Structure formats: C-alpha cells, structure tokens
Structure 1
Amino acid sequence: MRATPPVEDLGEGLWSVPVPIPGNPLGYTLVYVLESPRGPVLVDAGWPHEDSWGALTAGLAAIGTGVADVHGVVLTHFHPDHSGLAERVRAASGAWIAMHGADADLVRRLRAHTPEEHRDLQAERMAEAGASPDEVARLRAAPPRMAPPAPPDRELADGDLLDLPRRKLRTVWTPGHSPGHICLHLEDADVLFTGDHVLPRITPHLGLYTLDTDEDPLSAYLDSLTGLDAVPATRALPAHEHRFTGPAARAAEIAAHHEDKLDRLAALLDARPATLWDLSARLPWARPWAEMGTLARRMAAAETAAHLRTLERRGRARRRDAPGGTPGWTAPRAPARP
C-alpha cells in the first residue's frame, strides 16, 4: 500500500488533497482544489468510503475552506475512485458536477441495470472469452460491484471552459481509459490535470468489455496520447502517484509500451484459433496469471480484447466466430478451418 502524502499548497491558488482508497494498492486519489471567488472547485472527488470522506473534509479544512463552500466538482472520468464522493459533496454544498458527455451517457446506461445484473452480464462475457465454468461460477457468486455514480449536472465537450471565475480551465477530451475521460488544461498556470490518462510510472487500464461492439478503446487512447503534443503545458498533475513534468514525453513512452504489447500479442497468433482467455494467460502481466484472482483475470482479458481489436483494425489479427461457440483469433493469413 502506498503511503499517503500530505496536503500540499502548489501555489497559484491550487492545492493537492490526497484521498485514500481503502484496500486498494493505488493507495489514494489526488483531489485537486482550485480557489475561485465563488468557492473552491474540485478536480475529482475520491472513493465513496467514510475514511475517504474524512480525508477530503479534513484536507479542505486544512486549506481554510470546507465542503459546504465547494462551488463545483469536475470529474476526469466516472470511475469510483474519482467520482465516488461527488454526489455527497453536491448534497453538502449545492455544487455542480461536470463530466464529459460520453461518460455521462455511459453512467445513464449503467444506472438502467442493477449491480447484480451487471455482475451476471460480466460472467456471461467471461464465458464467451473462454473462461472455465468454475471461474464463471466464482464471479457469479462474488458480491456485486458498487452502483455507478449519479449523472452530472453539466456535460462537457472537447475545448469547453469550466465555470471557474478568473481562471481558464479548459477541457481536453482524452478517451481510452473511459469513453469520456478528460484532461484539464489550466491555461493561466501551465498545468495539465491528467486524471488517469497519463501517470508517471504506471499505465491505466484499457478494456474492451464486450466483443459485440465496434469500439476500439486502445486506438482512441493512442490517438489521444498523441494529441497531448498540442497542449502547451509542462507541469502534469495526475490523479495517482506524484506530479511530474513533460506530459507529452510521458505520453510517448506509454504509447511505445502499448505498441510493444501489440507486437507481443501478434506473435502469439498462429493458424489455430486461440480464445481470448488463452491469449490473456500467455501474456506477461505485473502479477503472474496463475496468481490472479477471478476479477483481476477478467480485467486482464478485457485489456487483451482491446489490444486484439486494434490488431484486427490494423490487419494483424483475424477473429473466427464459431456458431454458438467461443470466438477465437488467428494470424491474419491463417487458412479458414473447414
């Protein structure tokens, strides 16, 4: 578990408030607080837990303000370690909540089903990927994940300025980690809030969670990494780990990492179709496949699916659908099976 850093004054009316994520190896989310004449605006809000709420309220008090004073919360994306406390902040202060329209649409779709329905759908997708019946059964028996966040009051698009008096905080749409992930360029302070898009040491999860879609999250992510070249900011303030300089250079390193992973995956393909689960098991991960739990394997398979989708788009992989069976992938010139 990462040690939680202190609340920090970053200068120019900007603060960093670490909010813990209990039981998660990431350790904490860095919530950023921007001072404004109408009250502070938060960039992200933190995980929905009493310990997290206590850290957020104590951090705001340490910088001379409080939850009731918050003017707005802008979310880099909808994941619970970023959005989880936003609704509670809104209830305490009347603050607006903003996120990109693509994530707002996704939140509305997620809220149309119960957490139990989502868990069962995930189990069906694991079976489609080639997971064993035992693993599918373990996921069905697991507690359902938490409900998605409340829909935002305001939806953002690329290039939009936030409601932040006397400051210029501009939306930079960076899809990939989520469909509506955004970075935020504080143009009057040479700062780019990168959310999970660009982190100093690790890379964000990129998942394709259903094969029955035309989405290509990895290609979208690689394009949005390249797009950071056009953002004139040298100081990066990520949601995890620590601050760093040169976000465009770090983005290029992450892109190279994914290109290497695409090459590794392509090298595993041959004439015989392999399932998504089998290919995932043969790739290198931070933790060996044999030591992963069911949920970790599901996320790894979703990331493999995202890389396979990009290989398909580039003509480097071919999907073979068996009627009523499990899909498989081969090298692009592999002969069709009789």
Structure 2
Amino acid sequence: MPQVIDHGGGVWSVQVPIPDNPLGHTLVHVVDTDRGPVLVDTGWDDPAAWTALTEGLAAVGTAVADLRGVVITHHHPDHHGLSGRVREESGAWLAMHPADTAIVRRTRGSRPARWFDFLIDTLTRAGAPDAHTAPLYAARAAGRTGGLPGLDPALPDREIVPGELLPLTGRRLRAIWTPGHTPGHVCLHLEEAHPAGLPGRGRLFSGDHLLPGISPHIGLYEDPDDADDGDTDPLGDYTASLELIARLAPAEVLPAHQHAFTGADARVRELLSHHEDRLRGLLSLLSVPLTPWQAAERMEWNRPWAAIPHASRTIAVSEAEAHLRRLVKLGRAEVLPGLPVRYVAV
C-alpha cells in the first residue's frame, strides 16, 4: 500500500522511494486547488518510484492525468527526476527557480564525459589522491554513467519568482528563495491558517532546506559548464536563508524527507549552531595549510574516514570546501597560491 499522510486542508504527502539511498524516500506533497491538484516535487526517476507516486495519488482520490502543475523545490534528481514523465502524461506545467533551471539547461547539453572531467578536475584541485580519481578516469574511459546525476532532466516551462504568489487558484502559496543546498532552492509558504489551529504563520514546504533530524548537504554548487572562480559561498547562502525562514515563523514545516514538524525557529538555531561548531573545529585544524581533501580527512563525520565509501568521500570533500570558503569570507582563513588549493588560518 502507498504511504500517504493527510496533513489536512487539502494537503497530502506521498512517500516516493529513492533507490539505494539511506534517506529512503522523498515526500512528494499534493496540494489541492480549485483547478486541480499540484505537486511539490515528484521523486526519483525509477519504476518503483513511479508506481509509488501513481498509487499514492490514487489513494488521495486523484491521478497523474489530473495534475495541473509541478512546483520543483530544486533540481536534484530525487526531487525533479519524475517531472518530465508527469508532464508527458498530464500536460502539467513545471516551475523552478531560474538559477536551478540554468543548471538543468546546461546539464541537458553536457555529455557524461563532461561530468567526469568536471568531477576529476574539482577533486584534483582539492588535493584528492590518485587512488580516488582513478575510478573516475576508468569510468570515463569505459563510457559508464553510474553514480552521475540525471543527465537528461526535464526543462521547466515556468519560472518561480521569489516573493511572488504562485498561480494556484484558491490557494496562497508564496515562493521563498533559499539558496545553499542548490543556488536555486526554494521553499514554499502556504499563507493560510493551519487546519489544526497551530500557532504560527501558515505551513512551509521546505524541500531539503530545513529538515527535522539531519542537516542537508551544503557543498560547492555543481555545474560543470559554469566556471567556479572560488567566489561562491554556499554555506553563507544557506545560513542567511535559514535566518529568513526563522523570521517567517511557520506553524508547521512539511519537508521533502523524514517527517513534518513544528518549531521551525528552534530547528534553525540548531542548524546554525551545528555549522558554527563545524567552522570552529575546522579553523582549529588550519594552523597548518590544508587542502580540502586533507581537511575532510581530519573532520568529524558520522563514521571514520576509512569507512566512508568513495562517492561519500567526494561529497564530504565538497562540504569541507564549502566550510573552508565560509571561513575565508568571514576573514578567518585565507587561500594560498598554487595548486592543489590550500587553506590556512589567519
């Protein structure tokens, strides 16, 4: 049976599985409107995910063919993966923030080899050893694409304008730009009284921005065809976006993973404290110059570095460098000349 939760007030969530991922599933939200249901995200492009989505929609009394539109919180494949198929079978419009739409457009024009070149170059600049990049070279040479993000995502046909209401007849759903996890991530504020009368300002579809029990991955923005000159600051973007959500003070948060929760302000404070602790710990390591790879090896993760698998090490290095860049922006560290990139405390 599909895993469906009725959140009241014409809002439901459907658990759509993510293959081979510890997160387990994406919570795809269904919002009823006067002109038909609209989805917030769609889930991973996978047969089991499609079955879960269609069965979940049936459980709430609708179907893919009835969908009016899809609002995409961000371009990652566990959120945007099924959007193209949904549009094909329903004629629904797809809306995304232009910063993430630009990534989708460039991704559609990139060959798998370009993604491998991008990953290898990024890791080499970060000081990754040959043993880590060798499997990527081999996969590139063999033409394999396993482990790469979706290479042919659907191109959205509508633009989400931050601060504006989405055109949903009978509902007040306002787009809130919350960059950090991706440059175009958006949360969606349902500006309506909470159906259970909870105190606060409506409900927030938070995507991956605000989750009840985990911190989303905040690493370097991934875009192989947009040169990164080191000026981007994803962690700075994320913390500023968190403060914005705290000021919004929603009564309830409906995230894309885990479960719905209250106490958004307290959760924001926990996440800000978490990242400040990470920055302090990282700064203490920079009494000597370190590459992002060396910093990642020395940082605390949910398991010892030796037990972290290859793909997760790549993600960890990206997250380490996002924190290193934040220290630079705060004037607490600097980048030394030369390659691989090295950071040191000031």
Q: TM-score, normalised by structure 2?
A: 0.91
After superposition, give the CA deviation of every residue in 1:124-155 in whole Å (9 maximum; x if it has no partner). Answer: 21111111112101123344213152221111
Q: 1:215 aligns with which of 223, 232, 256?
A: 232
The answer as to 2:277 corresponding to 1:280 is no
> For residues 286 and 60 of structure 1, what CA distance do their matches in structure 2 show?
36
- Percent sequence identity over aligned pairs: 51
> Could you tell me whether the CA contact under 8 Å between 2:41 and 2:80 is conserved in 1?
yes
After superposition, give the CA deviation of every residue in 1:44-88 in whole Å (9 maximum; x if it has no partner). Answer: 100000000000000001111100000000011000000000110
Q: 2:266 aligns with which of 249, 252, 255?
A: 249
Q: 2:217 aligns with which of 181, 184, 205?
A: 205
> Could you tell me whether the CA contact under 8 Å between 2:242 and 2:268 is conserved in 1?
yes
Q: 1:192 aligns with which of 195, 201, 204?
A: 204
Aligned ranges for residues 156-167 of structure 1 at < 5 Å? 156-167=160-171
Secondary structure of the structure 2 residue equivalent to 1:11: coil
Secondary structure of the structure 2 residue equivalent to 1:52: helix
- Residue type at the aligned position of 1:170: R
The answer as to 2:241 corresponding to 1:224 is yes
Q: 1:115 aligns with which of 112, 115, 118?
A: 112
- Residue type at the aligned position of 1:217: P
> Could you tell me whether the CA contact under 8 Å between 2:181 and 2:218 is conserved in 1?
yes
Moved over 3 A (4+): none
> For residues 53 and 12 of structure 2, what CA distance do their matches in structure 1 show?
12
> For residues 312 and 221 of structure 1, what CA distance do their matches in structure 2 show?
16
Determine the structure 1 residue equivalent to 2:196. none
Alpha-carbon shift at residue 213 of structure 1 (Å): 3.1
The answer as to 2:20 corresponding to 1:8 is no
Alpha-carbon shift at residue 211 of structure 1 (Å): 5.8
Secondary structure of the structure 2 residue equivalent to 1:121: helix
After superposition, give the CA deviation of every residue in 1:199-228 in whole Å (9 maximum; x if it has no partner). Answer: 000000011157633110100100010011
Q: 1:150 aligns with which of 138, 151, 154?
A: 154
- Segments of 5+ residues of structure 1 without an aligned counterpart are 333-338
Alpha-carbon shift at residue 167 of structure 1 (Å): 0.5
- Segments of 5+ residues of structure 2 without an aligned counterpart are 194-201, 222-226
- Residue type at the aligned position of 1:198: L
- Residue type at the aligned position of 2:22: P
> For residues 267 and 81 of structure 2, what CA distance do their matches in structure 1 show?
28
Cα–Cα, structure 1 residues 167 and 211, in superposed 2: closer, same or farther, change >3 Å? closer
Alpha-carbon shift at residue 120 of structure 1 (Å): 2.1
Determine the structure 1 residue equivalent to 2:224. none
> Could you tell me whether the CA contact under 8 Å between 1:159 and 1:170 is conserved in 2?
yes
Taking only aligned residues, the RMSD between alpha carbons, in angstroms, comes to 1.5
Determine the structure 2 residue equivalent to 1:52. 49
- Residue type at the aligned position of 1:298: T
Aligned ranges for residues 1-338 of structure 1 at < 5 Å? 6-142=3-139, 143-144=144-145, 145=148, 146-189=150-193, 190-208=202-220, 212-270=229-287, 272-322=288-338, 325-332=339-346
> For residues 254 and 131 of structure 2, what CA distance do their matches in structure 1 show?
42
Instruction: Report the count of equivalent residues.
Output: 326
> For residues 218 and 5 of structure 1, what CA distance do their matches in structure 2 show?
36
> For residues 100 and 268 of structure 1, what CA distance do their matches in structure 2 show?
37
Q: TM-score, normalised by structure 1?
A: 0.93
